[in-house]
Structure 1
Amino acid sequence: MAPLVPMQQPICLIENVEGSKLVFNKEAEKILLEISQPVVVVAIVGKYRTGKSYLMNKLAGRRTGFALGSSIQSKTKGIWMWCVPHPEKSGHTLVLLDTEGLGDVEKGDCKNDAWIFSLAVMLSSSLVFNSLGTIDQQSMEQLHYVTELTKLIKLKSTTTKEDTGEYKRYFPSFTWCVRDFTLILEKDGKAITEDEYLMSSLELKKGSDKKIKDYNLPRECILHFFHGHKCFVFDRPASKKKLQILEELEESELEEEFVEQATRFYSYMIHHSRVKSLAGGAEVTGRMLAVLGSSYVTAIQSGTVPCMENAVLALAEIENNGALQDAMSKYLCDMDKQVQKFPTETQQEFLNMHMECEKVAIQVFMGRSLNDKDQKYQRKLKELLDNKMNDYSTKNEKASRDFCRKLLQELSANMENDILAGKYSVPGGHKHYLMQKLNVMESYNSRPGKGVKSLEVMQEYIAEKKDIEAAIIKADETLTEKERQLAEEHAKAENEKREKEIVEQNNRNLQQRMDDQQRSFEQHKSMLMDKMEQDRKMMIQQNELVISQKLKEQEMMMNQGFNNRMSDLQKEIDRLREANKPKPRRCSVM
């Protein structure tokens, strides 16, 4: 995994130009594209001047970074990003997203606020909502953007009614931070926890008139959309005068209660915030987050509603093409290191080299491939690997031919000089020629490292000398006609023997290639089955998370007397449990 390049300060990820146009920052995109590690993405939203940036700096382990601001003006325009190594999860990156304050009077565009909120939801794995005072109807009204999410975000390209049960799979967890909290945490005279305070505030009212529907709607959305609910309350950190220089203050200058509360918030968010994942459970890397973010912003600016399914399909195409490129680069790099060992003594030795390099290449591909439907890209990988194997096989054969020809040239140098000098065109010359030729062949056959084309090169060499040997036989006056005939028949028999050996070797090579293809297929299939099993486990894990949250939601509905809503929740739970049941695994890479 690519190491994270340290970011000394945040950078604007999505710029809000003049409060109306959103632009995906190319410099920030470049930073994300370099991160191949899985990312934990924490985004914070809320009304401006509520201290959001202080909490994000706390998560970054810094006092300064995200602009806190000390005036009534909103300091953060758009969405700012800070990528830091995750303090607990080795090999992971913590991506912090600080959004501009919602409801900025200077902006005057509610639709723009809604898009900022929606982008924070789509990009994060943990969403923090920051508000002042208490959780009351007024603070719920500040969170009205949550009621518009179904209009601003499409889960699938063909949205159906059943899709509403899928939001928990796509959306982040939800944490509500209540700042400057002055109440006592109790209900009906009994002490309650922060989480109980939140869930109590999310209780629905019975009734069907518009006022009750308006009251229930944001609460229903929070319960139904997000897969987890957490609450933190904070005392005022310091006096009003000191708040203006909050980032300059040491912890010892802050209220003790606030410091303890901020520490608990930090510990929880760092420990419990999950890796950003796609529907199905695949972990999102920084590179993938960049593609998703750019896709969402492009859709918004084109006037369409961002579709999370379409964004993932586009991401899958990019990732799978990248997986192909990475795998082939790895294969070529590893095979190029083997070229120095060419020629291999046998074809099987070459095929074993290929198989080892292919195995690593497939592992690289599987590590990055995403939603490779019908194994389209894996089949393309196999095709490319087979083609490149043929190229290297040709190189191996050429190395063998070059080596053998050079060897024969060296071994037969004296014999060639004697041929040119006519030393064999004398009585008894043929016998002398045969002895020289036999010495060359024996020396050649005993030399190791000739490679897979040694027989063919020898046969070609003998074929080149056929006419010369015939002329020597004819010129040798000591040979009788019978001896000439026997010499020619012997040469012919030797030639047929070598031809037969070549055919047998080619047949063995062909069988080895066929066996290699079968091994290759089995190797692809085995790794694919492992990948499918891994993907299924991630899907089941995600489904179980959604089921547990829906069971809590169901229990809450039952306790509040909303039995009519329990049936729909039960159907969603049953559907998820059915999806988790074992199913026959099918795959094809051929």
Structure 2
Amino acid sequence: MSVQLIKKDPKTGLLSIDNEGLDILKNIDADISICLIVGPYRQGKSFLMNRFISENENTFSVGDTDEPCTKGIWINKNPIKNSKNTCILFADTEGLESDDCDEAWDTKLFLLSLSISSIFLYNTKNALSNDAFKKLSVMVNLSQRIKIKSNTPTAFNNIKLKQDGPKFVWIVRDYSLKQTLKPNERLNKFLEMESESEKTGKKLDDIKTRNEIKDNMINLFKSFDCFYLRIPEFDGKLNLTLTEQLQSLNSLKFNKISKEFRQEFEEIRSFIYDNITPKEINNEKMRGQVFCEYLKSVVKLINSDECINLHDILSESVKAVAENILSKAKADYTTEMEKLFNDKNTCFNESDFLSKEKTISRNFIEFMRSNIFGSNNLAENYIKKFEEFREVKDHSGKLKGGKLFEFKERNEKQANILNDKVLNDAKNNYIEKMKKFMSSDLPKSWNSFYKSENDFSSECINSMNNNLITSNKTKYLNDFKLFKGEKSYSNKPYSGELLKFYNQNEQSIQDKNLRTANDLWETRKIDQRYSKKADFENALESLKSSLKNVLFECSDFDSFYSNFVNKKDIDRIRNSIIEPTTISSSVYPNYSSGINFQGTFSRPETKFYCPYPNCRFTSQSEHGVKVHIGRMHKEQFDCPYCPLCFSSEHGVRVHIGRMHRDDDSD
């Protein structure tokens, strides 16, 4: 299958590039070689090009009438890649001297064919004749518009033009006469300069003209070769006349053609595939994009009838492609970097981000180095431009601008948002775990408290280390530690959330110890009235000794005990104790029934108090207090018929029998 590359603009009659063909060229990522065929119309050019590509499949259209079939220039849609990684394109051109085209159009096609081809096939019939040479010479003379470079001396221009020109292959078709010379010998003889000595007048002028044409032709092409190709003969079993066979030539199987024809054809085909090389200008090969820019420039110059300065065109084409590649690299770099942040929550620590960015930028630098052709420094110059687009540094080497700077700031911004969330999650998690820990079984021993708190803190810090997106995690870890709180040299926290939980546990410990102390105080009735102060002090000492053994996590026992007993108003208790008194008989001679008694005795002045709250009963003896308690503070039994109450059920029954016999009988 083929696509059109060059067509005739119907309005202006100028060369026009077809976008479909241009896209084929643009997508070729390899050196390009073009084997192009020109010659008079209806001479079998399309048939040859079809068979060069495939023995039986047709790529280019072939007609069976005398009307030209090909218009403009067509190329095969699927380039053929050889072992040297060169893409070969076969180009079929519109025949010269057709009725519907003029010499100007033929010249434009011819000039373009010379400018883009690697092998230039010239297809004629019958013989390598002067008439065929004259037709070619007209085009060759017009090709003087092709220059290597503007303002280049003619001699140097011819040398360089020959180096950059295509290889010329003359195919002489349908020969019938016996050939006395081999094809290349005949062509070389044809190109020999004629002697101008002893010639005068018109003959001398003709010789000079022919020699000039030959010289132009020699300077235009890199090499010259010639092949003969006989009339194709077919298997007699086809039952077709020669005319019918030639008309249906393109549709017949190639193996039906005579062996002699196929051998000569294969010789040409092998020569093409063996000798075709990438199109070169000034030793620079061209790939798809450069070739497209080169083609556009050549077409533009041909249409404007300007000189075709090949080196200048290539130089500008290479620069244009380099600019396109640079623009593509910039755009694609930006796109690839944007993909890193598809999710607004995506971010990376600085080292990972720089590593990913370096991989992306390295790929585009290699892409530019592989696709920018020209002088050795051209690719590096454009890579430098890409680097300037990518990053700008200050005099100290610190990044201050460029796309990398923009994406780096974006990554840092998103990282800060994520890191703040990680920090807040750690704080909330720490508080939640501590609250749950402190919600039951209070108070906690300090060993348990600090062990659990340390476990929770380590768990949160480990989670932060795993989830923080920054190379400087210390800042966030310090923020968490500051939030949690610092400890003093005595292991007691003095700030942060830890201090709150510490105070909560401390208060719980104090409450528990206070309850324990109160229970022990009540159990031992420390606040009862003593007859001797020594007994009271002994009771306090016993209480103190017991509290030392039973208090929970009391680090400052002396302070606790002092505060506790002071709140119990022990000074009041001490002052209420009256020690036994010594009484002289000389002072109280009539004491104890008036008996004159000399000696000592205990005056019963000591008061005993009821231990029940809000009861002010006192007695001179302990027995009196016990009787009081038995009467007033033991379990009471009420009479169901009157307000009286008794200390036992038996007393109630006796009372009812005496006072409420009639009521009871009811």
- TM-score interval, normalised by the smaller of the two chains: 0.5 to 0.7
- Give the equivalent residue in structure 1 for 2:283: 280
Instruction: Report the CA distance between 1:68 and its aligned residue.
Output: 3.5
Over the matched positions of the two proteins, sequence identity in percent amounts to 21
- Give the equivalent residue in structure 1 for 2:136: 143
What aligned pairs does 1:371-390 form with structure 2 within 5 A after superposition? 371=374, 373=378, 375-386=380-391, 387-390=402-405
Question: Match of 2:363, as an amino acid?
Answer: V
Question: Structure 1 374/124 Cα, relative in aligned 2: closer, same or farther at 3 Å?
Answer: closer
Q: Does 1:168 align with 2:162?
A: yes
Q: Does 1:46 align with 2:39?
A: yes
Instruction: Report the CA distance between 1:442 and its aligned residue.
Output: 4.9
Question: Match of 1:46, as an amino acid?
Answer: G
Looking at structure 1, the residues matched to 497 and 425 of structure 2 have their Cα atoms a distance apart, in angstroms, of: 22
Looking at structure 2, the residues matched to 268 and 19 of structure 1 have their Cα atoms a distance apart, in angstroms, of: 39
What aligned pairs does 1:231-380 form with structure 2 within 5 A after superposition? 231-238=226-233, 239-285=242-288, 287-328=289-330, 331=333, 344=348, 347-371=350-374, 373=378, 375-380=380-385
1:391 to 395, 406, 414: 406
- Give the equivalent residue in structure 2 for 1:93: 87
Please say which of residues 334-343 and 54-63 is displaced more in the overlay: 334-343
Question: Match of 2:226, as an amino acid?
Answer: C
Instruction: Report the CA distance between 1:235 and its aligned residue.
Output: 0.8
Contact 1:38 1:92 in 2 (8 A): yes
| Partner deviation per Cα, 1:453-480 (whole Å, 9 max, x = no partner) | 42334456678899xx889999999xxx
1:182 to 171, 176, 181: 176
Contact 1:38 1:91 in 2 (8 A): yes
Question: Match of 2:272, as an amino acid?
Answer: M
Q: Does 1:79 align with 2:73?
A: yes
SS of aligned partner of 1:66: coil
| TM-score where L is the length of structure 1 | 0.66
Q: Does 1:211 align with 2:206?
A: yes
Looking at structure 1, the residues matched to 410 and 457 of structure 2 have their Cα atoms a distance apart, in angstroms, of: 25
What aligned pairs does 1:409-448 form with structure 2 within 5 A after superposition? 409-413=424-428, 442-443=458-459, 445-446=461-462, 447-448=465-466
- Give the equivalent residue in structure 1 for 2:187: 198
Question: Match of 2:473, as an amino acid?
Answer: S
Looking at structure 2, the residues matched to 83 and 413 of structure 1 have their Cα atoms a distance apart, in angstroms, of: 67
SS of aligned partner of 1:64: coil
| Partner deviation per Cα, 1:267-307 (whole Å, 9 max, x = no partner) | 2212321122332332332x433332232222333343333
Question: Structure 1 314/405 Cα, relative in aligned 2: closer, same or farther at 3 Å?
Answer: same
Instruction: Report the CA distance between 1:74 and its aligned residue.
Output: 2.8
- Give the equivalent residue in structure 2 for 1:228: 223
Looking at structure 2, the residues matched to 401 and 127 of structure 1 have their Cα atoms a distance apart, in angstroms, of: 66
- Give the equivalent residue in structure 1 for 2:604: none
Question: Structure 1 202/93 Cα, relative in aligned 2: closer, same or farther at 3 Å?
Answer: same
Structure 2 runs not aligned, ≥5 long: 198-203, 234-241, 392-401, 439-448, 486-493, 504-666
Question: Structure 1 67/201 Cα, relative in aligned 2: closer, same or farther at 3 Å?
Answer: same
| TM-score where L is the length of structure 2 | 0.59
Question: Match of 2:112, as an amino acid?
Answer: L
Contact 2:461 2:477 in 1 (8 A): no
SS of aligned partner of 1:40: strand
Instruction: Report the CA distance between 1:132 and its aligned residue.
Output: 1.6
| Partner deviation per Cα, 1:339-394 (whole Å, 9 max, x = no partner) | 6997555x444433333333222111111113364844211111233333333433
- Give the equivalent residue in structure 1 for 2:468: 450
Looking at structure 2, the residues matched to 309 and 296 of structure 1 have their Cα atoms a distance apart, in angstroms, of: 11
Instruction: Report the CA distance between 1:145 and its aligned residue.
Output: 3.8
Instruction: Report the CA distance between 1:139 and its aligned residue.
Output: 1.7
Looking at structure 2, the residues matched to 36 and 179 of structure 1 have their Cα atoms a distance apart, in angstroms, of: 36
Instruction: Report the CA distance between 1:59 and its aligned residue.
Output: 1.7
What aligned pairs does 1:109-148 form with structure 2 within 5 A after superposition? 109-148=102-141
Looking at structure 1, the residues matched to 362 and 403 of structure 2 have their Cα atoms a distance apart, in angstroms, of: 14
Instruction: Report the CA distance between 1:175 and its aligned residue.
Output: 0.8
Question: Match of 2:474, as an amino acid?
Answer: L
Question: Structure 1 304/462 Cα, relative in aligned 2: closer, same or farther at 3 Å?
Answer: farther
Contact 1:40 1:93 in 2 (8 A): yes
Please say which of residues 88-97 and 34-43 is displaced more in the overlay: 88-97
1:401 to 412, 416, 430: 416
Looking at structure 1, the residues matched to 452 and 172 of structure 2 have their Cα atoms a distance apart, in angstroms, of: 99
| Partner deviation per Cα, 1:187-237 (whole Å, 9 max, x = no partner) | xxxxx5432332222111122742112212232233222112221111112
Looking at structure 1, the residues matched to 108 and 314 of structure 2 have their Cα atoms a distance apart, in angstroms, of: 19
Question: Match of 1:195, as an amino acid?
Answer: N
Looking at structure 2, the residues matched to 234 and 394 of structure 1 have their Cα atoms a distance apart, in angstroms, of: 72
Looking at structure 1, the residues matched to 15 and 193 of structure 2 have their Cα atoms a distance apart, in angstroms, of: 36
Computing the radius of gyration over CA atoms, which structure comes out larger, 1 or 2?
2
SS of aligned partner of 1:274: coil
Question: Match of 1:180, as an amino acid?
Answer: D
Question: Match of 1:122, as an amino acid?
Answer: S
How many residues align? The count is 457
- Greater share of helix residues, 1 or 2? 1
Instruction: Report the CA distance between 1:440 and its aligned residue.
Output: 7.7
SS of aligned partner of 2:214: helix
- Give the equivalent residue in structure 2 for 1:538: none
Looking at structure 2, the residues matched to 262 and 395 of structure 1 have their Cα atoms a distance apart, in angstroms, of: 66
Instruction: Report the CA distance between 1:79 and its aligned residue.
Output: 1.7
Looking at structure 2, the residues matched to 203 and 348 of structure 1 have their Cα atoms a distance apart, in angstroms, of: 72
Contact 1:237 1:255 in 2 (8 A): yes
Contact 1:41 1:123 in 2 (8 A): yes
SS of aligned partner of 1:370: coil
Question: Structure 1 68/52 Cα, relative in aligned 2: closer, same or farther at 3 Å?
Answer: same
What root-mean-square deviation, in Å, do the aligned CA atoms of Structure 1 and Structure 2 show? 4.1
| Partner deviation per Cα, 1:127-165 (whole Å, 9 max, x = no partner) | 101112222322210111443254332332444332221
What aligned pairs does 1:60-79 form with structure 2 within 5 A after superposition? 60-61=53-54, 62-79=56-73
Question: Structure 1 383/439 Cα, relative in aligned 2: closer, same or farther at 3 Å?
Answer: farther
Question: Structure 1 87/381 Cα, relative in aligned 2: closer, same or farther at 3 Å?
Answer: closer
Question: Match of 1:244, as an amino acid?
Answer: Q
Contact 1:140 1:218 in 2 (8 A): no
SS of aligned partner of 1:84: coil
Q: Does 1:104 align with 2:98?
A: yes
Question: Match of 1:177, as an amino acid?
Answer: I
Structure 1 runs not aligned, ≥5 long: 1-7, 187-191, 424-432, 478-590
Looking at structure 2, the residues matched to 91 and 471 of structure 1 have their Cα atoms a distance apart, in angstroms, of: 72
Looking at structure 1, the residues matched to 209 and 267 of structure 2 have their Cα atoms a distance apart, in angstroms, of: 34
